[in-house]
């Protein structure tokens, strides 16, 4: 198919929903509110290739400030693959993010392809699934309120390579479950749980100390039958805690970067594979 019959443009909110549905079809198990919250993070950061009125491929190329961006939701419609639509949205996404440091979470079968385009592996991220039989959400934890959002975003910036206030504004609100560790009036950790099409995902988990990360996970998982948490391998002791608690490893990706590696330390759990 020639590029003359293809249109590349930003996605409208309903089209982001369609892209999320494609992700569900690929087995990615998105959150129930991901489409709206992802779009709010960077409304111009979702790009599609269209043939006539039909979307053939899509990608998220979300800018977090002037220095960092993230690639995700890179999907072509199965019946329209092999026609250059995926390559077209990839090029559009990379052009949009320009000279920023760009991150992505690459599955094993695509990592060689990403390396050929200048991405290098920083660390592995593994999805752990399980449940806690006990645990209470109020065991030394506080519910995150709107008044805490600015302080939470400041803490988040210590562990995420770019500012993401628009993303966090929605991510921290109900019906998501957001909890914080507060001592001496300071927020020293926070975490979020969101309902997905199957079970719940917990992420991010950001904390200054591993003990607080453990407490956040237990509090967020309280009362939930199936919990998924995406954990960088850099969180060694936290991984040991998950395994000792009966969580099992499954889906694995590699966090990869192009144009440099961020100086921020990874969190104990990432917010999402799709937007970082």
CA 56/CA 94 separation, integer angstroms? 18
Amino acid 2: pLDDT: 46
- pLDDT (tens digit per residue) in 77-130: 999 999 999 999 999 999 999 999 999 999 999 999 999 999 999 999 999 999
CA 263/CA 276 separation, integer angstroms? 15
How distant is the alpha carbon of residue 149 from its chain centre?
Answer: 19
Residues of the chain with pLDDT under 70: 1-4, 134-139
- Give the global pTM: 0.94
CB 70 within 8 A of CB 52: no
Amino acid 145: pLDDT: 95
CB 57 within 8 A of CB 50: no
Q: What's the chain's length in residues?
A: 276
How distant is the alpha carbon of residue 255 from its chain centre?
Answer: 11
Amino acid 134: pLDDT: 62
Question: What is the CA angle 260-261-266, rounded to 5?
Answer: 160
Amino acid 133: pLDDT: 72
In sequence order, the 6+-apart residues with CB closer than 8 A to the CB of 195 are 31, 32, 175
In sequence order, the 6+-apart residues with CB closer than 8 A to the CB of 48 are 8, 9, 10, 11, 15, 19, 55, 56, 57, 58, 59, 89
CA 69/CA 101 separation, integer angstroms? 6
């Amino acid at each position: 198919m020639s590029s003359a019959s293809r249109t590349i443009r930003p996605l409208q909110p309903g089209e982001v929903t369609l892209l999320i549905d494609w992700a569900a079809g690929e087995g990615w198990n998105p959150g129930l509110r991901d489409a709206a919250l992802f779009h709010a993070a960077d409304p111009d950061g979702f790009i599609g290739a269209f043939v006539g009125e039909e979307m053939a491929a899509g990608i998220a190329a979300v800018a977090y400030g002037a220095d960092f961006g993230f690639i995700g939701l890179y999907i072509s419609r199965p019946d329209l693959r092999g026609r250059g639509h995926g390559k077209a949205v990839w090029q559009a996404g990379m052009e949009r993010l320009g000279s920023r440091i760009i991150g992505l979470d690459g599955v094993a079968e695509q990592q060689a392809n990403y390396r050929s385009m200048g991405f290098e592996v920083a660390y592995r991220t593994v999805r752990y699934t399980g449940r806690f039989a006990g645990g209470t959400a109020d065991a030394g934890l506080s519910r995150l309120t709107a008044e805490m959002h600015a302080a939470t975003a400041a803490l988040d910036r210590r562990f995420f390579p770019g500012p993401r206030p628009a993303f966090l504004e929605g991510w921290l609100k109900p019906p998501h479950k957001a909890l914080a560790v507060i001592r001496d009036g300071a927020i020293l950790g926070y975490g979020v749980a969101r309902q997905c099409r199957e079970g719940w995902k917990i992420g991010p988990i950001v904390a200054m100390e591993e003990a607080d990360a453990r407490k956040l996970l237990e509090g967020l998982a309280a009362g939930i039958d199936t919990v998924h948490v995406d954990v960088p391998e850099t969180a060694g002791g936290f991984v040991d805690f998950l395994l000792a608690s009966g969580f099992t490893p499954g889906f694995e990706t590699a966090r990869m970067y192009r144009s440099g590696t961020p100086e921020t330390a990874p969190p104990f759990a990432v917010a999402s594979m799709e937007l970082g």
